[in-house]
């Protein structure tokens, strides 16, 4: 629906158009990854269709992520918590024991409760100190919940000085076990009065083995770091895989390992700038074909910079959106609603441009995705669904059905690709369907985007066109009151043009609404137009030149009234072009027939409409329909042959005078329109076939 008159910015030099493509290519190329692309494509359980692949260098076959994860999990499960023995605690407790021993010894001497202790005090002291040494050397552990739960018999690691010792939990004491050890051991000592030492030793018991989170993590990290990441070696010249071999799990891992090693070895020898220019060349190539397509099949888009930017901006937006999603943790690329683009472009233009634009976007953003062919396949399929669906922004039910079809296409397509890749339903990542559902849901954003883009880029949506069809619109109401004959003429032209547009695949709604407004300029002088006359003809008192000026003025007056009423530029173009630059033939010939005129040819321009000529199929259809409807009214009880001859004469006249040369309407489409006009006008005038009389 883009036929608006070029504005100042749209008349900028032609060099701005290729410059816009180049700027888009550069902007997108900066997003592409700096790593080299592997030149082989491969999937599990698929056939290797390339030639035999030999290793150009030695490389190790890497373990799979699953294997490494299992080994890491095993290391974590078998990693022992690390406890540190604090030697200072034993020293402190022994000093405290000696002090307390002397105090208790003095009291024992006074009370005479213990007789042997004062006599052999040094022996008792040495025994107690040695006993504490043995306990603290064995260690009293403190379990405070900061470490993982330790079962009996489980191994722990104890750091004693600079030495790590692995031992079971039974080999160390807790506070309760240490007390029991003292209680059970003292009675069997060689001391005569061991009960003297019992409270003294119990008072000095204190944990001296503590859990160390940092040491535990350090040991775990060291163990994880020692995990071997490879499980084999491929030597230079060795065949990695032969042609037509099925890519098993082992071969897949060998190919993956080769790809990773290729990336690491080759990229260090290549300049990143070469990679950038490689992507830039590919991007320019894709955009070059887009430019060729627009220039050949959508010249109105290519030749008008704002409309061209409308197409190009989608490439930049979705490229940066893909880049953002791909580099954001927790988001999945299936979330991106690519189908918004074909829906919007289809609404304002046509299905072919919508699909082509969608394919261009998919091709460009495919470089940014880690999904490869899977991504390209699903997105192109979804774009086809949009083009094939009857998406109408005036029909919510149809719109929702289209969204449903998009979701089903994504879902079924992903299921097929996943079965090929995984070869098992249980191995499919079903969480992807959540992202696909969100994708389809976000596609609904295309509906509110349409009126926004309509205002920004000067488009006209079907919603606006339906609103403008309301006969309560001020211009149509004035037309009905002041020029009712013109309104009836406009309605008839609308029916003719709508049917013809639908037959050739043009926009029937646009041309029907345009027909309602194409003659609003007649509101100024309605009585000068034959469809509004009921008595005296006001042209009788004017010269042919004066009458022609009044007739021609209805175009410029219509443009002025349309602008004042705020009609979209698209509809104003129909007012400008519905007569092209044809002549007011009746008054021109009358002017020539006047004997007093000697320089008729020199005055011809005064009898011509200002133009321009129609520049779209819709404008061409409206011009022809307008002329046919007006001309056929001059016929009274026409035969079928007379009616058809008049229609053919009008169409051929438009062709001969070059009125249709800029409208991109084909001869085949013009012939289809001719058949439509014949059929409708025949039914309007109730033409019947004349049967020959029977001979008696």
Helices 446-457, 340-348: crossing angle, 10 deg rounding: 50
Evaluate if residue 413 carries a pLDDT over 60.
yes
- Helices of type H across 298-395: 299-302, 305-326, 340-348, 351-365, 373-388
Spatial CB neighbours of 510, under 8 Å, sequence gap ≥ 6:
1, 460, 465, 501, 570, 618
The tokens for 20 are: 């816009």
Q: Is the pLDDT of residue 555 over 90?
A: yes
Q: Which of 589, 587, 593 is nearest to 547 (CA)?
A: 587
- Report pLDDT digits (tens) over 17-76: 788 888 888 888 888 766 556 677 777 777 888 888 888 888 888 888 888 889 888 888
CA angle (638 as vertex; 635, 641 as ends), nearest 5: 120
**Which pLDDT score is estimated for 152?**
64
Domain boundaries 272-457, CATH class: mainly alpha
Neighbours of 281 (CB within 10 A): 12
Say which range, 322-336, 348-362, 391-405, 557-571, has the weakest mean pLDDT: 391-405
Q: How far is CA 321 from CA 254, 368, 609, in A?
A: 34, 10, 50
Dihedral of CA atoms 366, 367, 371, 376 in degrees, nearest 10, equals 20
For the stretch 236-255, pLDDT in tens is 889 888 888 888 888 888 88
Confidence at 15, pLDDT banded by 50, 70, 90: low
CA distance 646 to 631: 8
Mean pLDDT of the 560-571 span? 91
d(CA 85, CA 208): 6
Residue 691 has pLDDT above 60, yes or no: no
476: pLDDT strictly greater than 90: yes
Question: pLDDT, tens digit, for every residue of 223-238?
Answer: 888 888 888 888 888 9
Cα radius of gyration rounded to whole Å, the chain: 46
Closest to 571 (Cα-Cα) out of 647, 459, 666: 459
Highest mean pLDDT among 190-194, 244-248, 378-382: 378-382
Q: What is the pLDDT of residue 664?
A: 83
pLDDT at 322: 87
Kindly report the average pLDDT of the chain as a whole number.
Answer: 85
The distance from CA 502 to its chain's CA centroid, rounded to whole angstroms, is 32
Contact (Cβ atoms closer than 8 angstroms) between residue 90 and residue 163: no
Give the sign of the dihedral formed by CA 118, CA 122, CA 123, CA 128.
positive
Place of tokens 């079928």: 640
Half-sphere exposure of 328 (CA within 13 A, CB side): 12
Output 551 or 694, whichever has higher pLDDT. 551
As given in the structure block, the two tokens for residue 515 are 């027909």
What is the residue extent of each domain of the chain?
A: 77-224, 272-457, 462-684
The SS3 call for residue 232 is strand
* Confidence band for 696, pLDDT divided at 50, 70 and 90: very low
User: Strand pairing of 141-142 and 209-211?
Assistant: parallel
DSSP string, 382-401: HHHHHHHS---TT-HHHHHH
Do 349 and 510 contact (CB within 8 A), yes or no?
no
Give the DSSP H or E segment for 258. Answer: helix 249-267
- Give me the helices (H) in 366-507, please: 373-388, 396-422, 432-442, 446-457, 462-468, 474-482, 484-504
**pLDDT beyond 70 at 579:** yes
What are 84's strand-pairing partners?
Answer: 159, 210
d(CA 25, CA 128): 86
**Residue 357 in tokens:** 């634009």
| DSSP codes, 147-198 | SPP--TT-EEEEEETTEEEEEEGGGSB-HHHHHHHHHHHGGGSS-S-GGGHH
pLDDT band for position 9 (cuts 50, 70, 90): very low
Query: Residue 693 — very low, low, confident or very high, per pLDDT cuts 50/70/90?
Result: very low
Q: What is the pLDDT of residues 244-297, one digit of tens each?
A: 888 888 888 888 888 888 877 765 555 567 777 888 888 899 999 999 999 888
Q: Which segment of 410-419, 458-467, 659-668 scores lowest on mean pLDDT?
A: 458-467
599: pLDDT strictly greater than 70: no
CATH class of 462-684: mainly alpha
Residue 279 or 90, more confident: 90
Query: 3 falls in which pLDDT band (50, 70, 90)?
Result: very low
Q: What is the maximum alpha-carbon separation in the chain? A: 170
Q: Is 454 helix (H, G, I), strand (E, B) or coil?
A: helix
Rounded mean pLDDT of 459-474?
A: 88
pLDDT of amino acid 410:
92
Percent of the chain with pLDDT over 70: 90
Q: Per-residue pLDDT tens for 658-677? A: 999 988 899 999 999 999 99
Quick one: tokens of 632? 């056929």
DSSP readout, 88-136?
Answer: HHHHHHHHHHHHHHHHHHHHHHHH-S-SHHHHTHHHHHHHHHHHHHHHH
Q: Are 630 and 584 in contact (CB under 8 A)?
A: no
Residue 6 has pLDDT above 50, yes or no: no
- Tell which residue, 475, 472, 471, 469, has the closest CA to residue 509: 469
- If one compares 173 and 275, the residue with the highest pLDDT of the two is 173
Percent of the chain's residues with pLDDT above 90: 35
At residue 312 the predicted structure's pLDDT band, cuts being 50, 70 and 90, is very high
At residue 505, does pLDDT exceed 70? yes
Tell me the DSSP string of 584-624: -HHHHHHHHH-TT-S-TGGGGGGGB-------SHHHHHHHH
d(CA 631, CA 624): 10
Residue 95 scores a pLDDT above 90 = yes
CB 283 within 8 A of CB 29: yes
């Amino acid at each position: 629906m883009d036929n608006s008159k070029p504005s100042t910015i749209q008349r900028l030099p032609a060099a701005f158009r290729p410059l816009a493509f180049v700027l888009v290519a550069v902007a997108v190329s900066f997003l592409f990854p700096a790593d080299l692309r592997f030149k082989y494509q491969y999937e599990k359980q698929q056939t290797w269709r390339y030639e035999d692949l030999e290793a150009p260098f030695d490389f190790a076959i890497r373990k799979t992520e699953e294997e490494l994860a299992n080994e890491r999990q095993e290391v974590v499960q078998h990693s022992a918590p690390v406890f540190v023995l604090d030697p200072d605690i034993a020293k402190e407790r022994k000093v405290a024991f000696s002090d307390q021993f002397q105090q208790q010894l003095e009291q024992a001497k006074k009370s005479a409760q213990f007789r042997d202790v004062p006599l052999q005090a040094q022996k008792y002291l040495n025994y107690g100190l040695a006993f504490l040494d043995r306990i603290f050397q064995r260690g009293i552990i403190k379990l405070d919940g900061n470490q993982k739960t330790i079962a009996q018999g489980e191994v722990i690691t104890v750091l004693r000085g600079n030495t790590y010792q692995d031992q079971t939990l039974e080999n160390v004491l807790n506070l309760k076990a240490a007390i029991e050890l003292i209680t059970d051991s003292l009675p069997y000592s060689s001391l005569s009065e061991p009960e003297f030492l019992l409270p003294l030793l119990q008072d000095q018991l204190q944990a001296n083995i503590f859990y160390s989170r940092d040491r535990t993590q350090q040991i775990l990290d060291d163990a994880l770091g020692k995990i071997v990441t490879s499980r084999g070696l491929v030597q230079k010249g060795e065949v990695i895989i032969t042609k037509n071999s099925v890519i098993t799990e082992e071969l897949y891992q060998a190919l993956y390992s080769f790809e990773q090693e290729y990336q690491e070895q080759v990229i260090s020898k290549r300049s990143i700038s070469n990679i950038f220019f490689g992507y830039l060349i590919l991007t320019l190539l894709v955009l070059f074909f887009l430019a060729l397509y627009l220039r050949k099949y959508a010249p109105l888009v290519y030749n008008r910079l704002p409309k061209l930017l409308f197409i190009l901006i989608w490439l930049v937006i979705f490229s940066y959106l893909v880049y953002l999603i791909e580099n954001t943790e927790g988001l999945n690329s299936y979330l991106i609603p690519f189908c918004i683009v074909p829906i919007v472009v289809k609404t304002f233009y046509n299905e072919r441009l919508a699909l082509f634009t969608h394919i261009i976007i998919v091709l460009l953003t495919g470089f940014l995705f880690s999904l490869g062919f899977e991504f390209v396949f699903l997105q192109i399929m979804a774009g086809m669904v949009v083009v094939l669906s009857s998406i109408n922004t005036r029909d919510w039910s149809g719109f929702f059905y289209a969204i449903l079809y998009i979701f089903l296409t994504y879902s079924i397509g992903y299921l097929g690709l996943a079965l090929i890749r995984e070869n098992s339903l249980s191995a499919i990542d079903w969480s992807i369907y959540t992202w696909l559902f969100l994708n389809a849901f976000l596609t609904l954003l295309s509906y509110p985007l349409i009126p926004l883009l309509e205002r920004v880029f000067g488009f006209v949506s079907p919603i606006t066109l339906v609103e403008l069809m309301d006969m309560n619109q001020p211009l149509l109401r004035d037309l009905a009151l002041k020029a009712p004959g013109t309104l009836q003429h406009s309605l008839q032209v609308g029916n003719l043009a709508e049917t013809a547009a639908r037959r050739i695949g043009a926009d029937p709604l646009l041309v029907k609404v345009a027909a309602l407004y194409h003659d609003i300029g007649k509101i100024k002088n309605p009585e000068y137009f034959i469809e509004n006359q009921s008595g005296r003809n006001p042209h009788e008192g004017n010269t042919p030149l004066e009458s022609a000026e009044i007739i021609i003025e209805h175009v410029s007056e219509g443009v002025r009234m349309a602008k004042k009423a705020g009609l979209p530029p698209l509809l104003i173009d129909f007012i400008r072009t519905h007569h092209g630059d044809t002549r007011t033939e009746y008054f021109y010939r009358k002017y020539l027939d006047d004997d007093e005129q000697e320089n008729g040819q020199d005055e011809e321009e005064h009898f011509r409409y200002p133009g321009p000529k129609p520049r779209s199929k819709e404008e061409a259809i409206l011009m022809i329909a307008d002329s046919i409807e007006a001309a056929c009214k001059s016929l009274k009880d026409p035969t079928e042959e007379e009616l058809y001859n008049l229609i053919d004469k009008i169409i051929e006249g438009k062709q001969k005078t070059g009125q249709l040369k800029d409208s991109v309407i084909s001869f085949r489409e013009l012939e289809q329109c001719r058949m439509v006009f014949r059929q409708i006008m025949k039914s309007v005038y109730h033409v019947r076939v004349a049967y020959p009389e029977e001979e008696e």
